[in-house]
Amino acid sequence: MKKIAFVGNPNVGKSAWINALSDANFKVGNWPGVTVAKKEAVVTWNDVKYHLIDLPGMYALDNRDHEERISARFLQEETVDLIVNVVDATNLARNLYLTLQLRRLQIPMMIIFNFMDEVERFHIEMEVDAIAQALQIPIYPYSVLDPASKEVIQKGIMRHVNETVAYYPCICPNDEGTYQECMRWCHRRLPAFQKLQDKEVSWLAYDLLFQQRQAVRQLEAWHVELPSFHIDGKEAQYAYRFIHEVLMIHVGDNEERYRQTRKMDRILLHPLYGRIMLVLVMMLLMLWVFQGSAPFNDFIDFCMNEIVMKYANAALFFLNDAAKNLVLHGIIAGVGGVLVFIPLMIFLYFALALLEESGYMARIACLLDHPMQHFHLSGKSFVCLLLGFGCNVPALSAIRTLDHPKQKKMTALLIPFMSCGARLPVYMLFAAAFFKGKKAVMVLSIYGIGIFIALLVALMCAHHESFCDQDIMLLELPPYRRPAWSIIAKKVRQEVSAYIRKAMGVVLWAMVILWALGYFPDGRMDTSYIARFGKAMAPIYEPLGFGTRWESVASLPGSIVAKETVVGFMGQVLLQENEAISTDIDPVEDAKQIAFAFGSACRQFCTAWVPQPMENGSEESLIGAIGQLWTDAKANARAYSFMVYILLSIPCVMTLQALRREAGWGIMVLSIILMIIIPYLTSFLIFQLCTLWI
């Protein structure tokens, strides 16, 4: 199997090329021991297998950034048969520095000049053959959007993978004489027993011109005096000088490409107008992701609970009640708990890919980086935290856009403190039952407490070396681009598929366990093991106010599966109702209902862009029952304490799974510990302070 490494700066289209060459048939995972995304694919061309690997974006081999170290270590330690260096053809001055460094590895290499469609659109004249000759590397000038490019690049990989190469230093014409003299000096003075190859001598001479430490130490070890030849400046400066001279001769005016971008940035990066536009964009993003996906979430929920449940119930007639209940309310409900998130994830990944591909994501980070630095976070962290108000799961998936691992850990730790939409029904019901006429104020205060606690945790954790990130964010602002819908669609498909595969197992096991706790020993919720747990643990929660009723305590374990289960549990226990599964089997009528539900979801999608207030008409009986949980003088304080506890308690199992996947076991365990201690202390303080005025 031939190992092909796709290498390049961030956002140059490496993943898009692997997408095209593998027909999007690649795996998404993590590099061993780290949480950096790893994308790879195995393809077969002419009976030969090729392992295509998308290395994390990098600007140089010697940078100290976490992801760049992974790429550099892979190239230096693994056996790579070919490097495919993907380059942004509209920004050669920035991209070719990495190309010059890759040449030193002496690994066969080919270059793809990506975004050639933009080169043509901006009328940039480019002598590709001359640049290839100067770099001593074959260049393929193609855009990944060009349908004919796939076959050309495929043949190029097959041609160059078996080549034997010898890359020599790139020297500016004015310094050619000095370099040749240093080469002759090396041939005369170096020990004969070393038997160095010509390319090794050439690179040693190149390093001696800049008095590189490693080359100097090598001569000292051989007891050879240093030569007097040298070139002023550092090697990195010289590399950029060489690139500049090549581009001055072989590339035309590139300013047109930036002209339109600079005009847009005058508004979008303006200290005032830019932030106003950002607020509008974030509002649209939230509406798109959460309001836009809600009708389709409801459609999948309808299909699972009304259709799949009914047919599964009929098909499992031969099972006893316990086994049937396990399949229906444990396994199928667990599958539905994953599937119902799919529209949400599709909308989220589409929005993130759109922001990334258009170039606006970098502007968001730029605008918000300074205020977020006070909490040791970056501008991109703000986007993740904002998404957490809708759902913590996609918000945690969004931390992949962050650049530094410590910021990823910090942001991942804070996201569960953002009150997700699943908690809102709990707030609304308890606010309606105990705070009539003040619902909006009480719910907003709950959100404010979550934000305050998150920022407090950020300030506390920032002093620990695991979270304290002193790196300066070097942010390259790419030009605004017209997003390629095919690339966005492929990204969405890959991310959603990976989400389903990774989330399904954990949720199923959690649902089965909680089903067993709520079903046994006699099939009744109010006498189940989970109810017994609530009665046994109630005294521990009495200082928090709501521990005087076992129902509120018993609802907490179920909230680990989904926060909405608090409402369902209260309905089952307080109203003593169990919704029966329909037994009317009519495939034609059910097909009509599915079609009608899908059409209704599409209509609601078209009219769902303004958030609608929650209607409580169908829940009046439950509100009344919840209002009877506490009737003493401290009832309101008890209810508010319970709302705060739900806000800060351990997040749902889907969030825990996403937390483990994106940040690792350590952060997940730390989050669980914090969200056991913090909600107890916060609810205790709030209840005790409130009772001082009662």
pLDDT in tens, 222-261: 888 888 888 877 888 999 999 999 988 888 666 666 677 7
Q: What would you measure as the largest C-alpha separation in the chain, in angstroms?
A: 98
Rounded CA separation 92/96 (Å)? 6
* Cut 0.75: pTM above it: no
DSSP 545-575: SGGGSHHHHHHHHHTTT-TTHHHHHHHHHHH
Q: H helices of 172-272, where? A: 176-189, 198-209, 213-221, 235-250, 255-268
Which string of b and e fits 591-617 if b means at least 16 CB within 10 Å?
eeeeeebeeebeebbeebeeeeeeeee
Instruction: Evaluate whether 144 touches 49 at the Cβ level (below 8 Å).
Output: no
Amino acid (1-letter code) at residue 261: T
DSSP state of 192: G
pLDDT tens per residue, range 15-38: 889 888 987 666 655 554 454 667
| Pairing of the two strands 48-54 and 37-45 | antiparallel
Residue spans of the chain under pLDDT 50: 32-33, 35, 472, 578, 611, 613-618
| pLDDT the model gives residue 25 | 64
> ∠ CA(651), CA(513), CA(301), 5° rounding?
65
pLDDT tens per residue, range 582-624: 667 888 888 999 999 999 888 888 876 654 544 444 455 667 8
Of 369, 186, 181, give the one whose Cα is nearest residue 275: 369
| pLDDT the model gives residue 249 | 83
Question: Which region, left, alpha or beta, applies to residue 39 given φ > 0 means left and ψ of -120 to 50 means alpha?
Answer: beta
Of 504, 482, 500, 480, give the one whose Cα is nearest residue 492: 500
Arithmetic mean of pLDDT over the chain: 83
Instruction: Evaluate whether 387 touches 289 at the Cβ level (below 8 Å).
Output: yes
DSSP state of 228: S
| pLDDT the model gives residue 91 | 85
| pLDDT the model gives residue 499 | 66
CA 387 to chain centroid, in Å, comes to 12
